[in-house]
Amino acid sequence: MPLNLLKSYNQHLDIQGLSEPQRLTSLKGVFDRDFTNKQPIFFNGRKVIPCPQDGSIEMSTLFRHLTTVKIDYKTNQREFEMERSKRLHWVRYHIDGKRASNMILFTVKEPEGLRTYLYDEDEKYVVVLEPRVSSNVYFLLSAHYIQGKDAQRDKMRKKYKRKLNDII
């Protein structure tokens, strides 16, 4: 488990064979290293903060969004997702701009509001931010591996075709 703290981009965290408590401890250690115990994150000159839930901004909400996937939109029920979780240490790497080549950065107006996407073409990985112009911050909504042959990648291409002129 402590070896996961030594993993770097584009290695995967070793969490497959761990029990649920061990996995949670390992992922929480990586999360705390990258988010809780580090300097604030900035992207495009704005601070990146966790997405608020019920008006409060909590790191536990961010951790949940980065390690689980919503399976029921009516009840907001989420469950653990291996593909997303084993790439947890990639989130900060991408937001910090350490990945320069084959990255597509763009903002799209979605039904839910503006979304800024940091899309790593080589690894098929996306970080989703919500720009809040009025408060000069980004909410970190999610980050995940794009699975499937072409369906999900086509989704990203369609979003890119609707991109705004500037990254907001």
Q: Is residue 106 domain-resident? A: yes
Looking at residue 57, its pLDDT comes to 60
H or E stretch covering 143: strand 137-145
Q: Is 167 within the bounds of a domain?
A: no
Dihedral angle, C-alpha 133, 139, 145, 149, nearest 10 °:
-40
Residues 6+ apart with CB under 8 A from 87: 12, 13, 125, 143, 144, 145
Instruction: Report if residue 80 sits inside a domain.
Output: yes
DSSP annotation of 165? S
Total count of domains within the chain: 1
Mean pLDDT per 10-residue interval, the chain, length 168 residues? 84 94 95 89 91 68 90 90 95 92 94 94 93 90 84 80 91
Structural domain span for residue 137: 2-161
At 51 the pLDDT is 76
The answer as to whether 94 is a domain residue is yes
Q: Contact, 60 vs 68, CB < 8 A?
A: no
Q: What is the pLDDT of residue 147?
A: 82
Q: Specify the pairing of strand 77-80 against strand 68-72.
A: antiparallel
Tell me which residue of 144, 146, 148 sits closest to 65, measured CA to CA.
Answer: 144
Establish if 31 belongs to a structural domain: yes
pLDDT on residue 34 = 93
User: What φ, ψ does residue 32 adopt, rounded to 5°?
Assistant: -60, -40
